[in-house]
């Protein structure tokens, strides 16, 4: 990837501790990909032949239940690795990765993962921190599903989205990629009807603004009150 400058990675974990020459070596072994919204980067249970770095855009990570229901496990913002099945000891991807917006991605063969971990200082440590953070987020999600009412779960989901991937606007904080009510239902383990009912009520109260594939949170403090304290962990 000679057309990509080393500065693209210098500020990103786990590349921030590497020299310019080391980053050049990594880039020279990368492939570049562009995905449109809704495109699948890889499928759950597919052979994990490559691992990825998200340069621009957002990735939605989805798992399918035994009953065939789609569950959104988490969202990944730009600047993070994903599809790192090898780091988890897997030979198959444990979930599907879907482009939540237009995305630009770099990828490398999975066979290079052990070399990257052993050769580049800080790569393994930074990757472990990323994995730990995602595991904590998924653990919080499990607690929400088991202990919280639907209103709390939806409020927590919106707070998580604007905290991690929000964009300030004159009307509040907008989720910075296209998101539907169906997406929210898959994130919170509830029905589309319930999510629609909640958002309609919150719109009437001025808490959120919702239009096709866009959600703006106008009163985040009201969501905090409804969500409880889990999102503050």
Does residue 15 sit in the same domain as residue 109? yes
Read off the CATH number of the domain in which 186 is found.
Answer: 1.10.10.10
Provide the domain limits for residue 16: 7-144
Give the integer Cα–Cα distance in Å for 128 and 122: 10
Does residue 135 sit in the same domain as residue 156? no
Residue 2 lies in a domain: no
Does residue 183 sit in the same domain as residue 196? yes
Cβ neighbours around 191 below 10 Å, total: 12
Does residue 47 sit in the same domain as residue 96? yes
Residue 139 lies in a domain: yes
**For the whole model, what pTM was predicted?**
0.79
Does residue 138 sit in the same domain as residue 177? no
Does residue 137 sit in the same domain as residue 189? no
Does residue 25 sit in the same domain as residue 82? yes
Residue 160 lies in a domain: yes
Predicted pLDDT at 1:
54
What 3-state class would DSSP assign to 59?
Answer: strand
DSSP alpha helices (H): ranges in the chain? 7-10, 20-28, 113-119, 123-147, 150-165, 181-188, 192-204, 220-227
- Each residue's pLDDT tens digit in the chain (233 positions)? 557 788 888 888 888 888 889 999 999 999 999 999 999 999 999 999 999 999 999 999 999 888 888 888 889 999 999 999 988 889 999 999 999 999 999 999 999 999 999 998 778 887 888 888 888 887 777 777 777 899 999 999 999 999 988 999 999 999 988 899 999 998 888 899 999 999 999 999 999 998 888 899 999 999 999 887 544 44
Radius of gyration of the chain (CA): 19
Predicted pLDDT at 145:
77
């Amino acid at each position: 990837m000679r057309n990509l400058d080393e500065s693209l990675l210098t500020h990103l974990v786990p590349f921030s501790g590497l020299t310019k020459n080391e980053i050049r070596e990594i880039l020279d072994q990368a492939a570049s990909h562009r995905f449109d919204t809704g495109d699948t980067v890889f499928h759950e249970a597919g052979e994990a032949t490559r691992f990825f770095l998200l340069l621009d855009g957002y990735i939605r990570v989805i798992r399918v239940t035994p009953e065939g229901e789609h569950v959104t496990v988490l969202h990944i913002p730009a600047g993070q690795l994903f599809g790192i099945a090898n780091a988890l000891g897997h030979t198959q991807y444990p979930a599907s990765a879907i482009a939540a917006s237009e995305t630009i991605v770099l990828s490398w063969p999975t066979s290079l993962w052990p070399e990257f971990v052993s050769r580049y200082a800080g790569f393994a440590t930074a990757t472990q921190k990323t994995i730990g953070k995602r595991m904590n987020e998924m653990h919080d999600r499990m607690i929400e599903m088991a202990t919280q009412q639907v209103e709390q779960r939806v409020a927590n989901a919106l707070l998580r989205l604007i905290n991690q991937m929000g964009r300030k606007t004159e009307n509040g904080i907008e989720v910075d990629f296209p998101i539907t009510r169906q997406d929210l239902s898959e994130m919170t383990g509830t029905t589309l009807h319930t999510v629609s009912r909640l958002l309609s009520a919150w719109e009437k109260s001025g808490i959120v603004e919702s239009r096709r594939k866009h959600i703006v949170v106008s009163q985040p403090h009201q969501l905090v009150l409804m969500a409880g304290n889990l999102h503050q962990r």
